[in-house]
Amino acid sequence: MLCAGVDIGSVATKVVVRDDREQRVLASAVRASGWDPRQAGEQCLADALEAASLERSDLEALVVTGYGRTLWPEESRVVTELTCLFHGVRETVPGVRTAFDVGGQDSKVLALDARGELVDFVVNDRCAAGTGRFLELSGQRLGLTAAELGQLATQASETVPLSNVCAVFAESEVVGLLARGVDRSAIARGLCEAVAQQLLALAGRLPRTAPLALTGGVAYNAGVCAALERALEEPVAVPADPQLVVALGAAILASEKE
């Protein structure tokens, strides 16, 4: 059964095409969501199908998720992002008990039991603190992309704790630190640690049981991964394609009956 999962996020749109019979991913694609998320989803799906040498008519099932899921044609099956994340992270990190997911505009924490069932979850979708947007805005003040910020953070010999985790106020604080001559790597590490601390605060009362995993676009950020491991005092697994985990979960669900 050939299935596709379409994850239309606030920043990026991701598609995974999967062969359910062979239990393998045939192709994937990523595009910026831009101003027209539905169009981004259609184009991203076309990209993935082309990479798999398939036609749209070859697909037997499709699930749409993410912020833009309601913009997709009504006949499509729509599933919440949280449900897709749950199925995707179980597939990519077998045995995972705690999953942190950080995207462009939101963050989530999932707690699973020993059987792999979802126990509880929390979501932050109202504030940019602890998200990719936070790193993007702060990185701009350092003259860095979010990825460059993460790499620089891993080279720091010291850190500068930030007093503000609000994306807007953190920008101002970064400007002030630069004006005082504070090393950029120390600031970068402080920003990554701020994201890690926000994730721990978000998790709150949830059990944080190992094995742990980090997914979402921010999982590509080496500085955040290192900061989260320091904060948790545990290794954190990152799937090979952390940005595609939700789309993969959607593709897996597409093969199942509603």
196 and 115 together in one domain: yes
Kindly report, residue by residue over 110-150, the tens digit of the pLDDT: 999 999 999 999 998 777 778 888 899 889 999 999 999 99
**Beta carbons of 193 and 231 less than 8 angstroms apart:** yes
Q: Which of 153, 142, 213 is nearest to 178 (CA)?
A: 142
Higher per-residue confidence, 126 vs 84: 84
Cα 227 from chain centroid? Answer: 16
Q: What percent of the chain has pLDDT over 70?
A: 97
Check the CA dihedral 243-104-118-18 and report its sign.
Answer: negative
Beta strands 107-112 and 118-124, pairing class = antiparallel
Is 89 part of any domain? no
53 and 104 together in one domain: no
Kindly report, residue by residue over 14-24, the tens digit of the pLDDT: 999 999 999 99
76 and 121 together in one domain: no
Residue 77: CATH number of its domain: 3.30.420.40
221 and 250 together in one domain: no
Does 166 have pLDDT greater than 80? no
Q: How far apart are CA 179 and CA 173, in angstroms?
A: 10
Is 88 part of any domain? no
Is 40 part of any domain? yes
Q: Which range is most confident: 120-134, 160-174, 202-216?
A: 202-216
**What is the pLDDT at residue 105?**
86
Give the range of the structural domain holding residue 172, as residue numbers without chain letter.
Answer: 95-238
Kindly report, residue by residue over 33-65, the tens digit of the pLDDT: 999 999 999 999 999 999 999 999 999 999 999
118 and 215 together in one domain: yes
75 and 104 together in one domain: no
Computed over its alpha carbons, how large is the radius of gyration of the chain? Answer: 19
pTM of the model: 0.94
Query: Maximum distance among all alpha carbons in the chain?
Result: 60
Peptide bond into 235 cis (omega under 30): no
Check the CA dihedral 53-56-57-58 and report its sign.
Answer: positive
107 and 234 together in one domain: yes
203 and 250 together in one domain: no
119 and 223 together in one domain: yes
34 and 132 together in one domain: no
- Please give the helix or strand (H or E) that residue 6 lies within, else none: strand 2-8
**What is the pLDDT at residue 89?**
98
Output the six-digit token pair for 73: 């044609």
Does 164 have pLDDT greater than 80? no
Q: How confident is the model at residue 6 (pLDDT cuts 50, 70, 90)?
A: very high
Mean pLDDT to the nearest integer, 95-104: 95
Is 55 part of any domain? yes
Q: How far apart are CA 160 and CA 190, in angstroms?
A: 5
Q: How far apart are CA 251 and CA 62, in angstroms?
A: 7
Number of structural domains the chain divides into: 2
176 and 195 together in one domain: yes
